[in-house]
Amino acid sequence: MDKFIIEGGRPLYGEVEIQSAKNAVLPLLAASILTDERVIIHKCPRIRDVLNMIQILGELGCKTTFYEDTLVIDSADAANHEIPSELAKELRSSIFMLGSVVARFGKAKIAYPGGCDIGIRPVDLHLKGLKSLNVKISEEGGYINCSCDRLTGADILLDCPSVGATENIILAAVRGRGTTLIRNAAKEPEIRDLQNFLNRMGAKVAGGGTSTVRIEGVEKLGGVEYTPMSDRIEAGTFLIGAAMCGGEIGLNNACADNIAAVIHKLREISCKISVKNDKIYIKSGGTRKSLRMIETMPYPGFPTDLQAPVTALACISEGSTVVVENLFETRFKHVPELIRMGADITVRGRAAFVRGVPSLRGADVVAGDLRGGAALTLAAASAEGLSTVTDLYHIDRGYSGFEYKLSSLGVRIRRVHI
């Protein structure tokens, strides 16, 4: 068990390199099983979710090797179609493997997935989509069993624009017979990245990143060498960190378009933000004006994955802010911890009512999930006095070298083993 010890209250200065997107890399790893040729992923972050997914690939019979930050996957000898529950429970993205494993082997067996405990997180849309593609599905003993003689294209309408369901259906349909249309598809940029990756393997996918995705099935996919898109959630986390702590920082390998909703909000509260190619610079505005209202939405709205960090920011902004979480029911685990640090927050259902205080004070807090843990770390970095953040395994799921990056920006932070 590790914890951060943070001495807060120093402004941030310097530059950080943004990692490749966790939520882009995970579906690419699932896609790698679609070919028996070699897949090379550059700038692959060594975060816990990626390492878990690599273990799942190993379980299926793939060979994986890291050469510095380049991951090479060789699935020529992959033969197993079962993902055991210990692995699936660690990682919600294991569910993406259903589509690609069934496309490769004609069958798949996977335990119900885990991931952050932030609400009910059903997989009904994933299963309904795969059924439309002619996959037979049965559920027993906590496992989902899939089998299919031939995947067949279909016209699918998602009841809600689920990112994971959109990706899972794409991963199955690329090797199906005929055309698949996914209507009301999720529009998150990671889906466009998956499309680009698959098309480089020889797939025919169009419309990724819009509400209608069209897939023409192909017989065979080949190897690919690819650098995934940058992580918009990590970029947003650092921008919010600068707004909270004060100072002036630059992000390299960042895409401003993908976090326009965050940049707009930060400008509203008087941060100065400029963009040059793949660099984003932020200078905090000193006083933080009220954020007033933040509602999480599917892309291009304000991302749910930055709700916890922005709630931490609201705690030390002027006036009152209402934060509404529309995507996940129980994504307010960070709130009681922020209250320990002196925040004034009331939660009612899906809304958090935040009344700003001049500053937070150091406290011992516990990370309850990935983004909540990042939010508490930022809160501690901005707070007066000493804090500890425990249960870092949540943060390690999605941020590579979080403490090193914060430390390079001037935060007094260290990790200790307890």
Contact characters 4-23, ligand UD1, x per CB under 6 A: -------------------x
Q: Does 354 bind ligand UD1 (CB under 6 A)?
A: no
Q: Does 151 bind ligand UD1 (CB under 6 A)?
A: no
Q: Which C-beta is closer to ligand UD1: that of 125 or that of 154? A: 125
Q: Which C-beta is closer to ligand UD1: that of 4 or that of 96? A: 96
Beta pairing partners, 15: 250
**Residue choice 79, 160, 206, 416 for contact with ligand UD1 (CB under 6 A):** 160
Is residue 415 within 8 A of residue 403, CB to CB? The reply is yes
**Residue choice 3, 92, 104, 288 for contact with ligand UD1 (CB under 6 A):** 92
Q: Which C-beta is closer to ligand UD1: that of 158 or that of 413? A: 158
Q: Does 164 bind ligand UD1 (CB under 6 A)?
A: yes
**Residue choice 121, 175, 214, 288 for contact with ligand UD1 (CB under 6 A):** 121
Burial class (CB in 10 A: 0-12, 13-18, 19+), 384: middle
Instruction: Please state, in angstroms and as integers, the Cα–Cα distance from residue 42 to each residue in 230, 231, 233, 265, 280, following that order.
Output: 12, 14, 19, 32, 22
Contacts of 300 (CB under 8 A, 6+ apart): 187, 260, 261
Stretch that binds ligand UD1, among 161-169, 195-203, 204-212, 405-413 (CB under 6 A): 161-169
Tell me which residue of 342, 348, 411 sits closest to 374, measured CA to CA. Answer: 411
Q: Does 123 bind ligand UD1 (CB under 6 A)?
A: yes
Q: Does 29 bind ligand UD1 (CB under 6 A)?
A: no
Q: Does 294 bind ligand UD1 (CB under 6 A)?
A: no
Active-site residue numbers?
A: 116
Contacts of 148 (CB under 8 A, 6+ apart): 102, 106, 107, 133, 134, 135, 136
Is residue 136 within 8 A of residue 148, CB to CB? The reply is yes
Q: Could you identify the residue written with the tokens 């890291």?
A: 66
Alpha-carbon distance of 308 to 311, in angstroms, equals 5
Tell me which residue of 8, 29, 49 sits closest to 400, measured CA to CA. Answer: 49
Size of the site for ligand UD1 (CB under 6 A): 22
| Smallest distance, ligand UD1 to C-beta of residue 154, A | 17
Q: Does 186 bind ligand UD1 (CB under 6 A)?
A: yes
Q: Does 203 bind ligand UD1 (CB under 6 A)?
A: no
Alpha-carbon distance of 324 to 311, in angstroms, equals 10
Q: Does 162 bind ligand UD1 (CB under 6 A)?
A: yes
Q: Does 125 bind ligand UD1 (CB under 6 A)?
A: yes
Retrieve residue 412's tokens.
Answer: 């007094």
Q: Does 124 bind ligand UD1 (CB under 6 A)?
A: yes
Q: Which C-beta is closer to ligand UD1: that of 165 or that of 269? A: 165
> If DSSP codes are grouped into helix, strand and coil, which group holds residue 365?
strand
Q: Which C-beta is closer to ligand UD1: that of 193 or that of 391? A: 193
| Footprint of ligand UD1 (CB under 6 A) | 23, 26, 92-93, 120-126, 160, 162-165, 186, 190, 304-305, 327-328
